[in-house]
Amino acid sequence: MKRIISYNVNGIRAAINKGFIEWLKNTSPDIVCFQEIKANPEQFDVSVFEYLGYNHYWHPAQKKGYSGVAILSKKKPLNVQIGTGNEMCDNEGRIIRADYNNYSVISVYVPSGTTGDVRQDFKYEWLDFFLDYVNKLRIEHPNLIILGDYNICHKPIDIHNPISNANSSGFLPEERAWLSKFIDNNFIDTFRYFHKEPHNYTWWSYRANSREKNLGWRIDYAMTSNLLETKLIDAGIMPEVKHSDHCPIWLDLEV
């Protein structure tokens, strides 16, 4: 069995200062996907990950202190693809992929549209690119596991107040329709595959004690190709883990 964890750390250095390394040591997943690392690997001591037995691969954004993704893996991948070859995506460090014998793992950080119309339009353009990228990729790598911060709540069950947030970026009809199209394109939202109950979120605003009140959004996902359905064991969310405004998500599968 493999356990894969995905975690938007909202700054890897900040998370480390909040005890992240000790938590990682105790949790000891096989693969970790980071989003929003907000650092270049030379800006902090990456040897702590090597000490814990991980190979580590980083794709920071060109802009300092912004975005960026990474993958930690106890087993050395056969191949690591940093970026996609598309500047729109790669300048902001949003996709990194690790290939193994019979599956590939992607850490993805979908843009947020919360800062205005320009970025919302960029988000829609990015989402169209990403779906096309995945469809082309699965020809050579059919067993895809795509974890990360999608910055979209799929359904009303995935957000604490769907009515008041109906016009909020991250819960717009166009975004939700895109996520439906993505899943209908032979992908599985693994958390919902196993867990149908409400009030399960992965991000909370720092304002108004949102986390303590569990006024959250489920915007982090572990998606897998339908081809891996028989390999799935369970998936979950770790709201008790607090190094970020997000919490980790996990997926267990036989691969």
Catalytic residues: 149
Residue whose structure tokens are 């191949």: 79
> How many angstroms separate the CA atoms of 44 and 92, rounded?
20
Q: Tell me the C-alpha distance between 204 and 194, whole Å.
A: 22
Lookup: tokens for 102: 């019979």
SS3 assignment for the chain: CEEEEEEECCCHHHHHHCCHHHHHHHHCCCEEEEECCCCCHHHCCCHHHHHCCCEEEEECCCCCCCCCEEEEECCCCCEEEECCCCHHHHCCCCEEEEECCCCEEEEEECCCCCCCHHHHHHHHHHHHHHHHHHHHHHHHCCCEEEEEECCCCCCHHHECCCCCCCCCCCCCHHHHHHHHHHHHCCEEEHHHHHCCCCCCCCEECCCCCCCCCCCEECCEEEEEEHHHHHHEEEEEECCCCCCCCECCEEEEECC
Structure tokens at 46: 């990456």
Of the candidates 153, 147, 145, 146, which has an alpha carbon nearest to the alpha carbon of residue 203? Answer: 153
